[in-house]
């Protein structure tokens, strides 16, 4: 994590994740760092790699973690598209989006890491 920056940890083995990170790289501000989980050493004081692989994790500049859908929304807040992503925080939309994200994340994790017990 870089001081003063948020850091989004993503699964570089996931095609959809890589496509989204490529888009983020094109439009993000310098205040967001994108880090492939597979490039992180074990001594980085992060959740274990299995936890990181199950859902997106964003570490804020103050060291707190935001996980899942909220990590995705928070990452996009570093772009000109922040307002569109904030719509996912509206109560009914958020409930549906959380369900969709949880189902997708679980399916993706099982597909890529088939021996996991999720």
pLDDT given for residue 65 in this prediction: 96
Question: What share of the chain has pLDDT > 90, as a percent?
Answer: 82
pLDDT given for residue 4 in this prediction: 78
Average pLDDT, the chain: 92
Q: Which residues contact 45 (CB under 8 A, 6 or more apart)?
A: none
Q: Which residues contact 18 (CB under 8 A, 6 or more apart)?
A: 10, 12
**pLDDT at residue 118 above 50?**
no
Domain residue spans of the chain = 6-112
pLDDT given for residue 7 in this prediction: 97
Signed CA dihedral, 40, 41, 45, 50: sign only: positive
**pLDDT at residue 28 above 80?**
yes
Query: Do 61 and 4 meet the contact criterion of CB atoms below 8 Å apart?
Result: yes
Determine the average pLDDT of the residues in 62-77: 96
- Work out the end-to-end distance of the chain between its first and last CA atoms, rounded to an integer number of angstroms: 28
pLDDT given for residue 39 in this prediction: 92
pLDDT tens digits, 85-97? 999 999 999 999 9
Q: Which residues contact 5 (CB under 8 A, 6 or more apart)?
A: 30, 31, 32, 33, 61
Q: Model-level pTM greater than 0.85?
A: yes
């Amino acid at each position: 994590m870089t001081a003063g920056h948020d850091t989004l940890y993503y699964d570089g083995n996931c095609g959809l994740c890589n496509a989204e990170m490529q888009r983020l790289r094109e439009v993000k501000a310098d205040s967001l760092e994108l880090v492939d989980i597979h490039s992180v050493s074990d001594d980085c004081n992060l959740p274990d790699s299995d936890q990181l692989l199950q859902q997106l994790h964003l570490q804020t500049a103050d060291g707190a973690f935001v996980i899942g859908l909220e990590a995705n929304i928070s990452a996009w807040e570093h772009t000109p598209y922040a307002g569109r992503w904030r719509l996912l925080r509206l109560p009914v939309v958020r409930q549906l989006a959380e369900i969709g994200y949880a189902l997708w994340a679980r399916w993706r994790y099982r597909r890529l890491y088939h021996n996991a017990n999720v």
